[in-house]
Amino acid sequence: MIYLVRHGQTEFNRERRIQGHVDSPLTALGVRQAGAVGRLLRDLIREPDGWRIVSSPLGRAASTAAIVAGKLGGLPVELDERLKEMSWGPHDGRLRAELEAEHPDTFGRTGWAFDASAGETYEEVATRVGDWLASLPPEPKRKIVAVSHGISGRVLRGLYANLSRDESGQQDVPQDAVYLLQHGGVGRIDCEPLE
């Protein structure tokens, strides 16, 4: 079983900037979201023995993973490059509105990614995320919390559930929910609303 988590809200998320491989810190809301996800996982997992937390090495995901790990009794966090977000190349860090104005077709049919003129392609992201998925132990032995990003998390869920590229791109990317990947299916579990 894999519990897949997206990092909490960042300053760039709030500003509607494309993050890609550049980083920005979690906002106060993002810290609260990570705490809520950690509490939800603590309730779902109950006994953390044998569980692993694997995170993208980008700061926003690693910070979220550290908060989640604290709620799970201080499990160590493993960093894995293959879980990184899609890079937009020279567009990393730019405001989404600016990029849309300059290149109206950038976000394509799904409204998100993979039609950019620079950066990683869907195939490149799918290859590295798929490589991570293929490296895991067989399903009955999997006990993993994975902390990733919006686009790479969509691709991971899509690969796991055998979705098309377009179906993968149309999935939600909440920062206050956990996805359970088990037996070839993907289920969403929402956190309690934050006060």
R_g over Cα of the chain: 16
CA–CA dist 139, 144 (Å, integer): 10
The catalytically annotated residue of 85, 91, 120, 149 is 85
What is the pTM for the complete model shown?
Answer: 0.92
Question: How far is residue 14's CA from residue 2's CA, in Å, rounded to a whole number?
Answer: 28
**What are the tens digits of pLDDT across the range 70-127?**
999 999 999 999 999 999 888 888 888 888 787 776 666 555 555 556 788 889 999 9
Residues forming beta bridges with residue 31, ordered by sequence position:
none
Q: What is the mean pLDDT of the chain?
A: 91
Is 7 catalytic? The answer is yes
Instruction: State the pLDDT at residue 112.
Output: 53
Among candidate residues 7, 91, 120, 149, the one labeled active-site is 7
98 catalytic per annotation: no
Amino acid at 14: R
Q: How confident is the model over 129-146, as pLDDT tens digits? A: 999 999 999 887 899 999
Contact by Cβ (8 Å): 116, 89: yes
Question: Where does residue 183 rank: exposed (0-12), middle (13-18), buried (19+ CB within 10 A)?
Answer: exposed
